[in-house]
Amino acid sequence: MRVILVEDQALLREGLAGLFRDAGHEVVASLGDCDGLEDAVREHSPHVVVLDVRMPPSFTDEGTRAAAALKSAWPDLGVVLLSQHIETAHSVELAGLGGFGYLLKDRVLDVSEFLGAVARVAEGGSALDPQVTAALLNRKAPHDSLAQLTEREHEVLGLMAQGMTNTGIAKRLVLSERTVEAHARRLLQKLDIADSEDANRRVHAVLLHLGVRPPATAEMRHLPRP
């Protein structure tokens, strides 16, 4: 997996680079801000770009705006936003796209889970932090629909929105896969969402229910793959 890192804190940037390299991945570019990011993507054809939300010069939403520009120009490119805090205001539309992730920085501490989430995004899947998912649910979903869900169904829904399969959810919650399938089927029925075996389609269905839709773009250019 070819990775581009964009993080203004040098120690964290180098630490992330070390994690990817130790796992056998190639860090093809490491940047301290978003200047030159699109040029780096053109030059190196990465599978995924991992970037901080708050970047120089204003430390507000530079990373989010850069992520939107990348997904507009290269829809097949995986993009993972990292943030210290939950900031859904400028990224909810991106959450409706495949190949997108939004993780809080403390998720990096669980190295295998973090690397797995980034790899899932690089392959066109989704990876939303549970706290980000909860914020989206609270902001977007009709209260009466969510009120029908049990506590366990809320847990399963949150993991579904991260892009996890029933098998992955079963392992995380220490349940049988059949039990997870039953929970998923019931919650999708309660939320009036069509069931699907495709994990990415399930994520999109959940996000659409939350009112998140991909931004319209006039032109789409695909990232050339070697």
Share above pLDDT 90 across residues of the chain, in percent, rounded to a whole number: 42
Q: Is the model's pLDDT at 90 over the cut of 70?
A: no
| CB-based contact 181:160 (threshold 8 Å) | no
Indicate whether 225 belongs to any domain: no
Which range, 22-31, 82-91, 103-112, 132-141, has the best average confidence (pLDDT)? 22-31
Taking all residues of the chain, what is their mean pLDDT, rounded to a whole number?
A: 81
Structure tokens that stand for 47 in this block? 């599978």
- The pLDDT tens digits of the residues spanning 134-147 come to 666 565 555 566 67
- pLDDT band for position 159 (cuts 50, 70, 90): confident
| CB-based contact 147:117 (threshold 8 Å) | no
Q: Provide the domain limits for residue 196.
A: 142-209
- The pLDDT tens digits of the residues spanning 163-176 come to 778 888 999 899 99
* 119, 164: one domain: no
Measured over the CA atoms of residue 158, residue 162, residue 163 and residue 164, the dihedral's sign is negative
Indicate whether 220 belongs to any domain: no
* 113, 7: one domain: yes
C-alpha to C-alpha distance for 64 and 70, rounded to whole angstroms? 10
